[in-house]
Structures are given as C-alpha cells and as structure tokens.
C-alpha cells in the first residue's frame, strides 16, 4: 500500500523548465525588434532573440516530456512551445529584414558621401 501512496504523491518534474521556456519565448518575440539596435545598425539583438527562441523551444519540449512522465499539467509547456515556434519564425524573419535594412542604410550613406565628394 505504501508503494501506491508513493506513486500517487510523486511531485511533477519539469514545471521550472516550462516556466523558463515560456518566459524565454515571450522575451524572444520582443528582443529582435529592439528599435535602438536597429537604429544603431546592429543585428546582434536579432541573433540573440533567435537563440532565445530556440532555447525556449528546447526547454518547453523537455518540460513536456518530464511532465508527461510524472503526470503533471502540460499547459504552460504547450503554450511556451507554440509561442516559441512562432517566435523562432518571427526572429528568423527579423534577422533577414534587419540585415537588409542595415545594408540599405550603409549603401545610402556611401552614395551620399560619394555625391558630396563630387560637388
């Protein structure tokens, strides 16, 4: 009887990873489109956002596996996984578009400098 009692009172593992993955996925949506980083011409923030999103997907997937084995509720892990996947696609698009914007800005600056020299 004590064996059944221990099996039913087992604490679900993976809640911390689910919360961490969920928070990382929310941060991963916001970080790539940091206006200050775009204006300064740095694509580093968009790469950081992409890494955070990938990390959130991994954490949430691991948390779902642990919670399934221990019988915990997986709602937060599922939400974090979905948001993380969407944020990963969003961040990948941000990396491409921010790099294109930086290249266009640099080309415009060099064209302006060339025109000013020719005056």
Burial class (CB in 10 A: 0-12, 13-18, 19+), 27: middle
Q: Decide which of 3 and 64 is more confident.
A: 64
Mean pLDDT of all residues in 94-105: 80
Could you tell me if residue 68 is inside a domain?
Answer: yes
Q: Is residue 2 part of a domain?
A: no
Average pLDDT over residues 64-71: 89
Instruction: Identify whether 4 is part of a domain.
Output: no
Instruction: Give the Cα separation of 32 and 50 in Å (integer).
Output: 7
Q: Let me know: does 87 contact 53? Beta carbons within 8 Å.
A: yes
* Contact status, residue 76 vs residue 41, Cβ threshold 8 Å: no
In a domain, 1, yes or no: no
Whether 3 shows a pLDDT value over 60: the answer reads no
Residue 9: inside a domain: no
The tally of domains found in the chain comes to 1
Residue of higher predicted confidence among 37 and 70: 70
Q: Is the pLDDT of residue 93 over 90?
A: no
CA distance 52 to 107: 30
- The answer to whether residue 5 is domain-embedded is no
103 has a pLDDT exceeding 80: yes
Report the pLDDT value the prediction gives residue 2, as an integer from 0 to 100: 45
Structural domain that includes position 77 = 15-118
Which carries the bigger pLDDT value, residue 71 or residue 41? 71
């Amino acid at each position: 009887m004590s064996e059944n009692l221990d099996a039913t009172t087992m604490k679900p593992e993976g809640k911390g990873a689910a919360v961490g993955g969920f928070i990382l996925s929310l941060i991963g949506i916001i970080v790539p489109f940091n206006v200050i980083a775009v204006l300064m011409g740095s694509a580093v923030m968009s790469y950081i956002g992409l890494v955070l999103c990938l990390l959130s997907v991994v954490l949430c997937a691991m948390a779902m596996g642990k919670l399934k084995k221990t019988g915990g509720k997986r709602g937060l892990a599922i939400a974090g996984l979905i948001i993380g996947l969407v944020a990963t696609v969003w961040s990948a698009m941000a990396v491409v578009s921010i790099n294109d914007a930086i290249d266009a800005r640099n080309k415009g600056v060099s064209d302006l400098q060339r025109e000013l020299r020719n005056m």
